[in-house]
Amino acid sequence: MSKGKYYPKGQKGQKGGGRSQDMMKQLQQVQQQMSAMQDELAGETVEHSAGGGMVTVVADGQQNIRSVKIDPQVVDPEDVGMLEDLVLAAVVGALEKSNEMASGRMGGLTGGLGLPDF
């Protein structure tokens, strides 16, 4: 029986360098995929309405508000507070949906790496 050192395939004399290189390649691939996913998310939108559709907000996958639509029937100079509440509820809801969409997509990319969710 030989008493020589055992080196995993392709790592003779590399003191673990092969695994580090593989991990770096994998991380670079994930980084490229994440960049592409962020570009895709910038072009995708989610919509949230409040007040039975009286106020509708559209946000993109990067949590940017793209539009706010207000039904003229809800505009009451005597009750501006209600309109403010509806706008706020629609914005918060749209941003939550956008965040969920982005987290779901990004989580799929980093799932096997043990990285924190974004």
- 117 inside domain: no
Q: How many domains does the chain fold into? A: 1
CATH code assigned at 100: 3.30.1310.10
Contact, 33 vs 44, CB < 8 A?
no
For the chain, the average pLDDT equals 84
- 6 inside domain: no
Q: Which domain holds residue 68?
A: 32-104
- Phi and psi dihedrals of 42, rounded to 5? -65, -25
Q: Angle 87-89-92 (CA atoms, 0-180°, nearest 5)?
A: 105
pLDDT of residue 31: 87
What sections of 1-118 are H helices per DSSP? Answer: 17-43, 80-110
What is the tens place of the pLDDT at every residue in 34-82? 888 888 888 999 999 999 999 999 999 999 999 999 999 999 999 999 9
Query: Residue 68 CB: number of other CB atoms within 10 A?
Result: 13
- 3 inside domain: no
- 41 inside domain: yes
Q: How far is 44 from 21, CA to CA, in rounded Å?
A: 35
- 88 inside domain: yes
Banded pLDDT at 112 (limits 50, 70, 90): low
